[in-house]
Amino acid sequence: MGALFFLTILYVSIILNFSLAQDENQFIFNGFHGSNLLQLDGVAKIHSNGLLQLTNTSKQQMGHAFYKIPISFNSSNSSASITFPSFSINFVFAIVPELPNLSGGGMAFTISPSMGFNQAVASQYLGLFNISNNGINANHVLAIELDTIQNPEFKDIDDNHVGIDVNGLSSLESAPATYFSSEEGKNIRLKLINGVPMQLWIDYDAPHKKLNVTLAPATSKKPKQPLLSTAIDLSQVLLENMYVGFSASTGPTASEHYVLGWSFNRSGQAQDLEISKLPKLPRQRKRSELQSKMIVILPLAATVVVVLIMVIAAFCFIRRKKYKEVREDWEKEYGPIRFSYKNLYKATNGFKEVELLGAGGFGKVYRGKLPNSHVEIAVKRVSHDSKQGMRQFVAEISSMGRVRHRNLVQLLGYCRRRGELLLVYDYMPNGSLDKFLFSNEKPNLNWSQRFRILRGVASALLYLHEEWEQVILHRDIKASNVLLDADLNGRLGDFGLARLYDHGTNPQTTHVVGTLGYLAPELTKTGKATTSTDVFAFGAFLLEVACGRRPIDLKGQPEELILVDWVMELWRRGAILDASDPKLEGDFLAEEMELVLKLGLLCSHSMPEMRPNMRQVVQYLDGYDSFPEMQADLVMSSSSSLGKFSVDSLSTNESILPSGR
């Protein structure tokens, strides 16, 4: 009898558990152990311990995890008792950046009419939207974003905020990540990317049309005051059948985004998660294993330690000299992206020659692998003596570190030593574009690869000129400054670096920075760089890629010496396609080739006002604006300005740098 009773209870509780999990209006996941109720895509996966990982540290990726069963929000069925429900959600998440203090991407809890996000874009679009559907009412999407990047185009308030997004990424309301502590009676700041689990509550009160969002460390109770409390009528946003879940993305830098537990209730207060039962994060797990081993090893270690300390003290004394850096108090403001010289030294095997990737106008570049994270980097050593202007320059580096675009080589940080500056960049496995164009050691690029590179670089330049919060001039655009990533996407490098010479020791002299053949005529006269001198250089670059020749080719026939003139002459003769790179063997789309060549000539116009701006260039290349019909004679050549240089005394691929350095 007793056994039967027990079995019945067991049976009933199994049924109940089952129905609870299946009930579309409420569910709770204390970890996602083998859950088949989530639909995953992108790089998202569920670990064997039940941890849901939305993204790993791969760049420009996204990951989604949605509850498979649609949930009815705005019932059109008038006989149903509820039309628009109140709802309540809480979840525990953690964001673990690849490099400490350097954020990448972000994540969002999302309510959406569909689970298909394959048209969405990673990075700042959080895997939810793309440039054309961002902000459109037809999206019917509510997202609560946990954003760790400040994107000026979406008017983000900082790089560590929680925001309420309706149909797009410009938040309706947002606030820096903090929580209200009753014990201390004040708001306490939280850092989203500190890798520690945190909990978020989202509560909607339908009768009062009020949406509350509350954040706290996972170990704290729900704070009494919400972080955000916004008046909003969600019945005007959400449709009848909606999917609930998470989206996360990584950009040029990456973070791992995790969800540890999740509870949802459409008809009451969401149950609290059992924090102690939630799966552990990979790194925390490692640490606790380590701790248990430590207890065994500790007594033994104690004796060894004493001896070691003496040895290390002596060792440190010697090492301190080797790894000596220059640090000043004011640099703390820019703290996050400062690397230690020691790590860079180790990463590059002590700046060994075998790690040398190249030597450009600004200094030598080494390949390296960061000791702990094994992230591949490129380190540029720039000699720089001046103290003057250093502060401003470092402020600029810090702002450059925030400039992110898929066609720019990401600056990760810097380090300063006496007499030199080390700049740390993303490592680009395929090296620079000029090696592909002008040397036989690399494979030939076909036309569609080249065209994609041109469009990419153009969009990066547009971003620097018009879309970033301030205008950034590149000032040294050329094939050797365009690097190729693993997928052969073009990425513009060295942006903003030319400014280094503006903060040099001798502010009286105007330095002309750039490379012969890419210098606009007015630049050589006035020394003043503008967006249109960048466009000029971009024009030379377009021709370079299409023709497979350098702007000034000392090796070729005399009439082919100046590339612009030669292409212009071919155009006059009605044979512009003869300018195309012989290595392409005629395998290209004639309209595209013609567009690139003519656009190259137009950008190389000697009068700045005749050149298009980068937005127009991008539109021409994207084929949105059909390129104006032009006559060769109208597009005047700029050769007169090039003629002024005594060409044979200059090597053609060296940056012109201030003398005396």
Taking CB atoms, the residue at the shortest distance from ligand NAG is 268
User: Helix, strand, or coil here: 159?
Assistant: coil
Q: Which of 35, 187, 212, 449 contacts ligand NAG by CB under 6 A?
A: 212
Q: Report the chain's terminal Cα–Cα distance, integer Å.
A: 96
Binding map of ligand NAG across residues 67-96, x = CB under 6 A, - = no contact: -------x-xx-xx--x-------------
- Identify residues 248-267 at the interface with ligand NAG (CB under 6 A): 263, 265, 267
Amino acid at 40: L
Which CB, 374 or 555, lies closer to ligand NAG?
Answer: 374
Considering only the stretches 50-58, 310-318, 459-467, 528-536, report the one whose residues sit in contact with ligand NAG under the rule CB under 6 A: 50-58
Which CB, 203 or 485, lies closer to ligand NAG?
Answer: 203
Helix H or strand E encompassing 420: strand 420-426
Structure token pair of residue 573: 């003769």
User: Helix, strand, or coil here: 174?
Assistant: strand
- Shortest distance, position 624 Cβ to ligand NAG, whole Å: 12
DSSP secondary structure letters along 257-295 = EEEEEEEEESSSPPPPP-GGGSPPPHHHHHHHHHHHHHH
Which CB, 77 or 506, lies closer to ligand NAG?
Answer: 77
Cα–Cα dist 61/433, whole Å = 24
- Shortest distance, position 306 Cβ to ligand NAG, whole Å: 29
Which CB, 100 or 643, lies closer to ligand NAG?
Answer: 100
Largest CA distance in the chain: 108
Helices 563-572/531-547 angle, 10° precision: 70
Q: Is 380 labeled as ligand-binding?
A: yes
Per CB under 6 A, does 203 bind ligand NAG?
A: yes
Is residue 264 within 8 A of residue 67, CB to CB? The reply is: yes
- Shortest distance, position 56 Cβ to ligand NAG, whole Å: 4
CA-based Rg of the chain, rounded to a whole angstrom?
Answer: 29
Which CB, 147 or 203, lies closer to ligand NAG?
Answer: 203
- Shortest distance, position 203 Cβ to ligand NAG, whole Å: 4
Per CB under 6 A, does 43 bind ligand NAG?
A: yes
- Just list the catalytic residues: 476
Q: Which of 82, 239, 275, 488 contacts ligand NAG by CB under 6 A?
A: 239
Q: Which of 271, 430, 449, 652 contacts ligand NAG by CB under 6 A?
A: 271
- Shortest distance, position 375 Cβ to ligand NAG, whole Å: 10
Cα–Cα dist 278/86, whole Å = 27
Q: Which of 22, 182, 236, 509 contacts ligand NAG by CB under 6 A?
A: 236
- Identify residues 318-347 at the interface with ligand NAG (CB under 6 A): 335-336
- Shortest distance, position 348 Cβ to ligand NAG, whole Å: 20
Helix, strand, coil fractions of the chain, as percent rounded to 5: 35, 25, 45
DSSP secondary structure letters along 180-201 = EETTTTEEEE--GGGS--EEEE
Which CB, 43 or 543, lies closer to ligand NAG?
Answer: 43
* CB crowding 305-335: b at 16 or more within 10 Å, else e: eeeeeeeeeeeeeeeeeeeeeeeeeebeebe
**Phi, psi angles (nearest 5°) of residue 398:** -60, -35
Per CB under 6 A, does 506 bind ligand NAG?
A: no
Which residues contact residue 190 at a Cβ distance below 8 angstroms, ignoring those fewer than 6 apart? 160, 177, 178, 179, 198, 215, 216, 217
Q: Which residues bind ligand NAG (CB under 6 A)?
A: 26-28, 43, 56-58, 74, 76-77, 79-80, 83, 100-101, 119, 130-133, 203, 205, 210, 212, 225-226, 229, 235-237, 239, 263, 265, 267-271, 335-336
Q: Report the binding-site residues for ATP.
A: 380
